[in-house]
């Protein structure tokens, strides 16, 4: 059972919140999502859609549920999911997967990440792609049916919101979502000056 396209046919904020507690899998490795961020096509200068024509082309060319993977700071791949809520584009955007709690394939993850203590194995957007072996080769992949994707959460979760991390534009928007009290997040809620 995987998350289907309908899941991603909602606005970015809803998708980002609902992904907390879901499983992200890629090959033999998987983790429970504990941190996400929403990026919106409208009113969000931090979203790539605001300033990048190539990202707008990506939005037009792909269905909701497509992987948007890009290289950041010249060395880290960041994984996003394309979401399309309709409403003429006002609810389009991306969800950045920022941290997962390792579930399966721990051995392989450690191998790919080097010597790293468990809570920090996937506690950041650049870390989890490295651990799960996600690269630019996965850009554009359909995440609804394949070797990489999401599974629904099994139980009720408590979600916390906070400021987004590492951005300068639209930094006041509380669009980061966290699994409450999880030790596997990148930065705890409220620790984001």
Partner DNA sequence: TCTTAGATGTGA
Partner DNA sequence: CACATCTAAGAT
- Report the alpha-carbon distance of residue 81 to residue 83 in Å, rounded: 6
Closer CB to DNA, 32 or 55, in the complex? 55
Q: Specify the pairing of strand 176-179 against strand 92-104.
A: unpaired
- How many chain residues are in contact with DNA, going by CB under 7 A? 35
Q: Does 171 bind DNA (CB under 7 A)?
A: no
Its sign, for the CA torsion 6, 12, 13, 15, is positive
- Beta-bridged to residue 29, according to DSSP, are 26
Q: Does 87 bind DNA (CB under 7 A)?
A: no
Q: Does 20 bind DNA (CB under 7 A)?
A: no
- Report the alpha-carbon distance of residue 97 to residue 117 in Å, rounded: 20
Q: Does 120 bind DNA (CB under 7 A)?
A: yes
Pick from 34, 47, 109, 173: which binds DNA (CB under 7 A)? 47
Q: What are phi and psi of 51, to 5 degrees?
A: -125, -5
Q: How far is the CB of 26 from DNA (least distance, A)?
A: 16
Terminal C-alpha separation, the chain = 39
Closer CB to DNA, 76 or 153, in the complex? 76
Pick from 52, 87, 111, 147: which binds DNA (CB under 7 A)? 52
Pick from 119, 142, 167, 174: which binds DNA (CB under 7 A)? 167
Pick from 60, 75, 88, 156: which binds DNA (CB under 7 A)? 75
Q: What are phi and psi of 127, to 5 degrees?
A: -70, -45
Q: At what angle do helices 106-113 and 125-132 cross, to 10 degrees?
A: 120
Closer CB to DNA, 72 or 147, in the complex? 72
- Beta-bridged to residue 30, according to DSSP, are 25, 104
Residues that bind DNA (CB under 7 A): 37, 39, 46-48, 51-55, 68, 71-76, 78, 80, 94, 96, 113, 116, 120, 124-127, 164-169, 186
């Amino acid at each position: 059972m995987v998350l289907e396209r309908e899941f991603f046919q909602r606005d970015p904020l809803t998708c980002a919140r609902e992904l907390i507690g879901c499983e992200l899998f890629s090959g033999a490795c998987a983790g429970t999502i504990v941190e996400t961020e929403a990026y919106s096509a409208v009113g969000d200068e931090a979203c790539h859609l605001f300033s990048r024509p190539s990202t707008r082309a990506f939005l037009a060319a792909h269905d909701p549920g497509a992987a948007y993977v890009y290289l950041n700071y010249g060395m880290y791949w960041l994984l996003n999911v394309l979401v399309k809520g309709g409403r003429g584009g006002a609810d389009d955007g991306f969800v950045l997967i920022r941290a997962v709690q390792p579930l399966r394939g721990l051995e392989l993850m450690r191998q790919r990440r080097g010597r790293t203590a468990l809570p920090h194995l996937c506690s950041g957007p650049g870390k989890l792609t490295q651990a799960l072996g996600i690269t630019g080769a996965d850009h554009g992949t359909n995440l609804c049916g394949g070797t990489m994707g999401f599974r629904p959460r099994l139980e009720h979760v408590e979600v916390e919101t906070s400021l987004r991390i590492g951005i300068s534009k639209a930094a006041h928007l509380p669009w980061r979502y966290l699994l409450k009290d999880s030790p596997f997040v990148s930065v705890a809620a409220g620790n984001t000056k």
